[in-house]
């Protein structure tokens, strides 16, 4: 552990760490464009130059490994002058179209120039004109005037995806990032280029001109679209009064987790989950019963569903009840289901309807396209796929979570079977696919809307909190289930004490200690 002094602060740096790492450890930030922790140092932006005692020239903070006793100064007049010089150069060739740039507000060039630049504007020459709208990928646009040539994008495709679609071509001031003739960035991880780009050079057509970054709230969550459980940020707009639709999720971005997804997420997660989080219609409680058109409330719905369920349980027995689950449920929800249906009521007919497995891509995306199959298994569920025919026989009440039945069976088949079942309760986030056959539709929030935990494909438990507000009537499944449990057995104290997901988790862990032992 070399001891180094950075701006007079003594730092016990890890062996082999760079000045930049050691400074960050000491809470001193050193500006940089080309350096990214996922790549080896490039040393080309020249913004991170710092003073090292005994060195005649300024040294690269990103590439210089600390030595015992090293003395570093990150804010001397010489360092500040060097930074100003680099930023002045970059701004001289920059289009300064910040008012219409998607990156404005979260742009490193803006932030650094404001913090370290602020030079007198003396550039009196004509700027190089470059292409401003080059389609380099399905959803990627490249603005070459905004590019600072940090080559993070190039290196991501060379070092991480190893697909190498981008390169720097031409030289000198005419250097530019380009694909090979007529080619496009085709890697299913292309969206990461937008996050990597320190300026507005690479923008995402899904986000472009839709909102301004400073309106967005950044919340942490976990992507539920495969067994990886990539850590994400869900960026949403809290909404402007009187502007319909302004409250919305605008983008999904990777959140660093060295053990799960590193700095990246796949495009499937990024764009498909975004779509899932932007429902076309507001979630509504629905009951297709005798009192059509009557205003529904959760209290009323819970009472009605409970009454129907109790009737079946008491008159016909638990063998006439079936439950169809999905691996999108959290551990806590699985636990409640296990308590309510299996332990408390003796319901044994539990099935799973999950998305069809896809192909694993040998990077992040797993073949499993649901987030919590492992969790279901740990709670003792056997995630056997639902067979519609088995529901047909002797079922009077069916509780369905999720709509993946519609992926497995045609609507005719579903209708045929469901016609024979007296009460169908659907709990789903986007219920349209099955809603037409359900008696009750209880709208649920997506993963991003609730607290909970998943166990990913590698057996890692990941807790998350609600990142977006519920839309319409939607509520988390755990809350729906708790209400149902309390209505079903008002005398039972077991469910009464749960105030939220942490309580359920604690109780679950006491019963299933494996959850406490997971990383």
Partner 1 sequence: MMADLILTRGLKSEPSVRLSAYLERGGYQALRTALTQWTPEKVIDEVKTASLRGRGGAGFPAGLKWSFVPRTTDKPKYLCVNADEGEPGTFKDRFLMTHDPHLLIEGAVIAAYAVGIHAGYIYIRGEYEAVARRLDEAIAEAYAHGVLGKNILGRGFDFDLWVHRGAGAYICGEETAMLESLEGKRGVPRLKPPFPASVGLFGCPTVINNVETLACVPMIIRKGAAWFLENGRPKDGGTRLFSLSGAVQKPGVYELPAGTKLREIIFVHAGGLKPGAALKAVIPGGLSAPVLRADEIDVPMDVDALAAAGSMLGSSAVIVIDAATPMLSVLEKVAKFYEHESCGQCTPCRIGTSWIRRVVKRMIEHRGKAADLDLVLRLATNIKGRTLCPFGDAAALPILSIVRKFRTELEASLHSAGEKSFDA
State whether residue 265 is helix, strand or coil.
coil
Give yes or no for residue 27 binding partner 1 (CB under 8 A). Answer: no
Q: Which range of residues in 23-31, 82-90, 359-367, 419-427 is near partner 1 by CB under 8 A?
A: 82-90
Among 10, 77, 122, 362, binds partner 1 (CB under 8 A): 122
Give yes or no for residue 172 binding partner 1 (CB under 8 A). Answer: yes
Exposure of 247 by Cβ count < 10 A (0-12 exposed, 13-18 middle, 19+ buried)?
middle
- From residue 227, alpha-carbon distances to 97, 358, 359, 401, 405 in Å are 41, 11, 12, 18, 19
State whether residue 396 is helix, strand or coil.
coil
Residue 196 phi, psi (nearest 5): -70, -35
Give yes or no for residue 30 binding partner 1 (CB under 8 A). Answer: no
Query: CA 95, 96, 98 angle in degrees (round to 5)?
Result: 125
> Least distance to partner 1 from the beta carbon of 517, Å?
43
Displacement of CA 93 from its chain's centroid (Å): 35
Give yes or no for residue 89 binding partner 1 (CB under 8 A). Answer: yes
Give yes or no for residue 60 binding partner 1 (CB under 8 A). Answer: yes
Give yes or no for residue 134 binding partner 1 (CB under 8 A). Answer: no
Give yes or no for residue 178 binding partner 1 (CB under 8 A). Answer: no
Distance CA 6, CA 73 (A): 6
Distance CA 225, CA 432 (A): 19
- Site size toward partner 1, by CB under 8 A: 37
> Least distance to partner 1 from the beta carbon of 173, Å?
4
Q: Which range of residues in 89-97, 203-211, 217-225, 450-458 is near partner 1 by CB under 8 A?
A: 89-97
Residue whose tokens read 């070459």: 144
Q: Which is nearer to partner 1, 151 or 221 (CB)?
A: 151
Q: Which range of residues in 162-170, 262-270, 326-334, 466-474 is near partner 1 by CB under 8 A?
A: 162-170
Among 3, 46, 132, 253, binds partner 1 (CB under 8 A): 46
Give yes or no for residue 519 binding partner 1 (CB under 8 A). Answer: no
Q: Which is nearer to partner 1, 37 or 385 (CB)?
A: 37
Residue whose tokens read 């088995």: 390
Give yes or no for residue 85 binding partner 1 (CB under 8 A). Answer: yes
Sheet holding 286-287, edge to edge: 286-287, 440-443, 423-428, 397-401, 321-325, 349-352
Among 82, 434, 482, 487, binds partner 1 (CB under 8 A): 82
Q: Which range of residues in 164-172, 202-210, 324-332, 468-476 is near partner 1 by CB under 8 A?
A: 164-172
Give yes or no for residue 54 binding partner 1 (CB under 8 A). Answer: no
Give yes or no for residue 170 binding partner 1 (CB under 8 A). Answer: yes
Residue 198 phi, psi (nearest 5): -75, -15
Distance CA 275, CA 223 (A): 13
> Least distance to partner 1 from the beta carbon of 509, Å?
49
- Which are the contacts of 82, defined by CB distance < 8 A and separation ≥ 6? 46, 49, 58
Among 90, 260, 336, 405, binds partner 1 (CB under 8 A): 90
> Least distance to partner 1 from the beta carbon of 109, Å?
11
Q: Which of 16, 19, 61, 63 is nearest to 39 (CA)?
A: 63
Q: Which of 200, 207, 198, 208 is nearest to 144 (CA)?
A: 200
- Which are the contacts of 17, defined by CB distance < 8 A and separation ≥ 6? 25, 65, 66
Among 73, 75, 76, 123, binds partner 1 (CB under 8 A): 123
Q: Which range of residues in 163-171, 183-191, 248-256, 478-486 is near partner 1 by CB under 8 A?
A: 163-171
Among 70, 149, 197, 378, binds partner 1 (CB under 8 A): 149
Give yes or no for residue 514 binding partner 1 (CB under 8 A). Answer: no
- How far the first Cα of the chain sits from its last, in Å, is 27
- List residues near partner 1 by CB under 8 A: 41-47, 49, 57-58, 60, 63, 82, 85-86, 88-90, 92-93, 122-126, 128, 148-149, 167-175
């Amino acid at each position: 552990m070399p001891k180094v002094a950075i701006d007079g602060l003594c730092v016990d740096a890890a062996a082999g760490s760079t000045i930049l790492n050691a400074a960050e450890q000491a809470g001193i930030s050193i500006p940089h464009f080309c350096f990214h922790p996922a790549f080896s140092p490039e040393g080309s932006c020249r913004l991170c130059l710092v003073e090292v005692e005994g060195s005649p020239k300024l040294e690269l903070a990103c590439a210089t490994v600390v030595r015992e006793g090293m003395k570093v100064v990150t804010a001397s007049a010489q360092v500040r002058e060097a930074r100003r010089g680099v930023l002045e150069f970059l701004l001289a060739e920059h289009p300064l179209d910040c008012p219409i740039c998607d990156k404005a507000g979260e742009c490193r060039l803006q932030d650094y120039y404001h913090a370290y630049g602020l030079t007198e504007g003396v550039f009196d020459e004509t700027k190089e004109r470059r292409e401003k709208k080059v389609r380099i990928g399905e959803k990627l646009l490249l603005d070459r005037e905004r590019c600072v040539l940090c080559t993070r994008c190039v290196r991501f495709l060379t070092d991480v995806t190893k697909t190498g679609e981008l390169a720097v071509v031409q030289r000198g001031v005419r250097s530019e990032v380009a694909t090979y003739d007529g080619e496009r960035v085709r890697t299913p991880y292309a969206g990461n280029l937008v996050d990597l780009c320190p300026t507005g050079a690479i923008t995402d057509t899904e986000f472009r001109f839709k909102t301004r970054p400073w309106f967005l709230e950044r919340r942490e969550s976990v992507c539920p679209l495969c067994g990886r459980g990539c850590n994400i940020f869900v960026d949403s707009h809290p909404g402007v009064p009187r502007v319909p639709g302004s409250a919305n999720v605008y983008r999904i971005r990777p959140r660093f987790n060295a053990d799960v997804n590193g700095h990246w997420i796949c495009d499937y997660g990024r764009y498909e989950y975004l779509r899932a989080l932007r429902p076309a219609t507001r979630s509504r409680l629905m009951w297709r019963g005798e009192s059509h058109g009557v205003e529904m409330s959760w209290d009323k719905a819970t009472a009605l569903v409970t009454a129907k369920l109790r009737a079946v349980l008491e008159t016909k027995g638990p063998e006439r009840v079936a439950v169809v689950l999905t691996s999108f449920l959290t551990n806590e929800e699985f636990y409640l289901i296990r308590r309510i249906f299996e332990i408390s009521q003796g319901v044994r007919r539990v099935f799973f309807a999950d998305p069809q497995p896809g192909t694993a891509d040998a990077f992040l995306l797993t073949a499993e396209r649901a987030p919590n199959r492992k969790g279901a298994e740990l709670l003792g569920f056997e995630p056997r796929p639902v067979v519609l025919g088995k529901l047909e026989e002797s079922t009077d009440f069916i509780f369905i979570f999720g709509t993946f039945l519609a992926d497995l069976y045609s609507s005719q088949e579903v209708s045929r079977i469901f016609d024979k079942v007296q009460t169908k309760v659907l709990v789903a986030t986007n219920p349209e696919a099955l809603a037409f056959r359900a008696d009750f539709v209880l709208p649920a929030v997506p993963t991003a809307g609730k607290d909970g935990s998943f166990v990913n494909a590698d057996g890692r438990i990941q807790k998350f909190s609600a990142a977006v507000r519920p839309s319409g009537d939607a509520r988390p499944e755990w809350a729906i289930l708790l209400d149902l449990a309390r209505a079903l057995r008002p005398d039972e104290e077991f469910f009464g004490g749960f105030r939220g997901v942490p309580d359920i988790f604690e109780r679950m862990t006491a019963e299933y200690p494996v959850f406490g032992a997971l990383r």
